Structure formats: C-alpha cells, structure tokens
Amino acid sequence: MGISEETAGKGDITFPKGFVWGTATASYQIEGAAHEDGRGPSIWDTFSRTPGKVVGGHTGDVACDHYHRYRDDVAMMADLGMQAYRFSIAWPRIQPDGSGPVNPRGLDFYERLVDELRGHGITPIVTLYHWDLPQALEDRGGWTSRETAERFAEYAAIVHGRLGDRVETWTTLNEPWCSSFLGYGAGIHAPGRTEPGAAFAAVHHLLLGHGLATAELRAAGAKQVGITLNLAPISGNDPLAVAHIDGLQNRIFLDPVLRKEYPADVVERARRFTDWSFVRDGDLDLIGAPIDLLGVNYYSPTTVELRAGQPANPVHPGSEGIAFVQGDEERTAMGWSVVPSALTDLLVRLSRDYPGTPLIITENGAAFDDVLVDGRVADERRIAFLDGHFRAAHAAIEAGADLRGYLVWSLMDNFEWAEGYGKRFGLVHVDYASQNRVPKDSALWYREVVRRNGIRS
C-alpha cells in the first residue's frame, strides 16, 4: 500500500527551523530487569500476573531487555537520526516502596542512559510517571489517595536531584486518563479496579500529583515542565453527547491544568459516582500552575451518537444512551481509525481554546501486523500513516498552532500493556526470543524526514 488518498498528490513540506523530531518509549514496556538492582514491584507486575488480564499471559519481566541493551539502543537511535528521546523513569527502581529510602542503583541506570543519549547528541525528555506505580502505594489506596500525590512530588524531586543538570524537559504524567479511567474505572489496565467513583478520585490525585511535582521541579530549577495528555477530537450527531464525552476524555484534564477549574458539566454528571470531597481548597491553584509545554498523545478520533438503551461504556462513566460508532476509515491493528485530518483539528482546537501553551506531539504512531522477511520489514502502511499525520501537523502549524516537535511512538516493538506482545508499534522490529533489533522501512524513511526537517512528495 502506498500513500493514502488523503496525502496523495501533495507536495514537499518543510517544518519550522528548530522543530524537534524524535521517538518515545516507556519503562515497563521496554526495560525488563523487573527483579534486578533493587527494583520493587509495580502495579503492572501484579496486574500482568493476574490470570486473564494480559493477552497471552505476557509480562514485562524481560520486555526488550533495554536495561541491559540501552547502549546499543541509543547507538541505534543515533544511527536513525533521532534528535530527542522521550523515556519514562520507573518509580519502583527509584523508591521500591514508593516512599522512603532511595535505591541508588535505579538512579545510576538513568544517569548512565542520559549520559549515553547526550554523548550521541540526543536530547533526553523525561517522563516521571508512565503507569508503573509502586505496588506498595497501591496497597494504601493508589491514586485514589492523596498520599500518592504527595509521594509523587517527593519522588520527582529525587529524580531531578540526580538528573536535573543534564535534563531540561520534564513531563510529570503520561496519559492520566488511562491511569484513572482504564485502571480504576474499567479495570482493563492496572490496578484493575472497576469503581467509577475511584476513577474520578484518581483523576484528581493524579492532577494534584502533577501540580505538587511541578512545584518541586520549579523550585529545583527545572527549565521546562509539562504534562502529557491523550486527547481526541469528539464528533457526532448530538451536541450534548459530544460535550459529555469530550468532557470525560479531554476537558476534565485540560481545564484544571490550563484554567484552574474542572468543567462544571462534567462535575455535575459525575456526582452520581462521587461527591468530589477529595478536592480541597488550593488544589486547583497547584494543578493549574503555568506549564512550559503540553504533550499531546494522539492516535484516533472518536465519533458518538445518541442511541436509546445503549449501556454505558465503562471507560466513560455515565455514558448511558451514547454509542461509540465507527466509520469506514482504514484501521490499525488496534482497530483505531486512521484519520490524519483529526490531528489538525485537535491541535487547532487546543491553540484556540487554550492559547499561550506551546505544544509537542509526545506520541503518535500505529500498530500493524508487521512481518520480518529476509531481514526486512516492509511496513508501507506505517509510512503512509506517519506521512499523513506529519502533513496534518504541518497544516496545524500553518493554521497557527504553536507546535514545537513530534515524537513517534514507538522506538521499537514492545510490551503493549493489556495486549501483551501481540501488537507492534515500533519503528524497529524486535524478535523477543533473540532480542535482535531490525529497523523497519518506516525507520529508514523517518530518518530522511528528520534529516530534511520535512517530507518530500
């Protein structure tokens, strides 16, 4: 398959000078070494060992063995021309119980990784939390507890204390929507709880953790601090249905972080599940402290319609009577619609509704059923996907969006959470038995995009 109809026939495009190109990963998905050098258990260690929770019974015990192979992986990134690498710190490596004594061997690993990246001219972008909460904190309530937010701020200060002289850009949280609604509401991600009220409490304490950590990072002199949200344009045939889902997917995070308030319509609908007593005076001032960068993770849009008798979608509490519908667009191996133009819409909407905050695409990519044949992965569909989305991002810039960079998900195939190892998002193919890495055709194509700072027709 070649370039999609949406991008076919379009000419060369060039991105602004200084635009940052790179890639991204997450600790539990690639590191392995789950029981080495003092690392404690996380909620994903527990969840992946719970029968029926992860496809194939897979765990992240070994994953891509990045913990031992990071030097080769960084050299590979450099060969592919990556300018920036977004990775996450495993909190259980730093504080095995989520609080108390620091594990120096955990900090040592990330210091070695950062130094290796800098030695190859690759800018490190640190995410402090990408879902691997220490199990000991979950045992005390996890993100439904205010204590977890307070411990997160302490952990952020510890990590900055070791890496702050070499890392300029810090992201507090990755996709708190997934942590809260998938983890505490729908139970399909760790910790696997199915309590809508707990999901809303988790939303608040995740955001409070962001605010408290931001204050710690600022006090320590961090140059750029932000948060990464997974956002999606919502469309449909009924404005109330669209507003309901947009509130639960987007505004419940955007409004506190960028406006110091929860959207009133979301709060009202959520009162059937919670009384919001976990919100204290001063919390929203902390949550809404200015950020330097908003990370945008975009994969697919959402379309909804009113449908009498439709049960609630468990990942969107209170969504009875709203159906999630699919069109005839191309779909990835995850079943997600491929609609590049929706990325333009999303970026323009963010710039219009929340002006003044620079944007970076911290994740965008696609899983396809890649096959290694004679040492090559000819993933034309991924190339077409990325081509279309890069052009969509450029269109948003031309429309006024302050977009500073683009990080492709993911550097390499890895543990895809509840999907185990069956879904491949990587620019680089990984043979999990041998740990052999092979850059796919998309990686070689992307190298040329980075080199040119643009796309050739």
Alpha-carbon span 149 to 140, nearest angstrom: 12
Long-range contacts of 303-307 (CB under 8 A, 24+ apart): 303/234, 303/235, 303/236, 303/327, 304/234, 304/235, 304/236, 304/238, 304/241, 304/242, 304/245, 305/236, 305/237, 305/238, 305/241, 306/237, 306/238, 306/241
Structure token pair of residue 323: 């159906």
Among residues 363, 380, 398, 448, which one is catalytic?
A: 363
Residue 319: count other Cβ atoms within 10 Å of its Cβ: 20
- Give the closest residue to 416 by CA, choosing from 185, 131, 184, 202: 131
Q: What's the confidence (pLDDT) of residue 3?
A: 34
Q: What's the confidence (pLDDT) of residue 11?
A: 80
Residue 6: count other Cβ atoms within 10 Å of its Cβ: 19
Q: What's the confidence (pLDDT) of residue 2?
A: 34
Alpha-carbon span 185 to 183, nearest angstrom: 6
Q: What's the confidence (pLDDT) of residue 63?
A: 98
Among residues 138, 175, 216, 416, which one is catalytic?
A: 175
Domain boundaries, the chain: 13-452
Q: What's the confidence (pLDDT) of residue 1?
A: 28
Alpha-carbon span 99 to 105, nearest angstrom: 16
Structure token pair of residue 316: 């969107």
- The three-class DSSP label of residue 397 is helix
Q: Which spans in 164-236 are helix H?
A: 176-177, 196-219
Q: What's the confidence (pLDDT) of residue 5?
A: 36
pLDDT mean values, one per 10 residues, the chain (457 residues)? 40 95 98 98 98 98 98 98 98 98 98 98 98 98 98 98 98 98 98 98 99 98 98 96 97 98 97 97 98 98 96 96 94 98 98 97 98 98 98 98 98 98 98 98 98 94
- 36 is annotated as an active-site residue: no
Alpha-carbon span 440 to 418, nearest angstrom: 24
Q: What's the confidence (pLDDT) of residue 384?
A: 98
Query: Which DSSP string do the residues of 406-432 spell out, in sequence order?
Result: EEEE-SB----GGGTTS----SEEEET
Alpha-carbon span 249 to 322, nearest angstrom: 14
- 138 is annotated as an active-site residue: no
The pLDDT tens digits of the residues spanning 338-394 come to: 999 999 999 999 999 999 999 999 999 999 999 999 999 999 999 999 999 999 999
Does domain 13-452 match CATH 2.60.120.10?
Answer: no
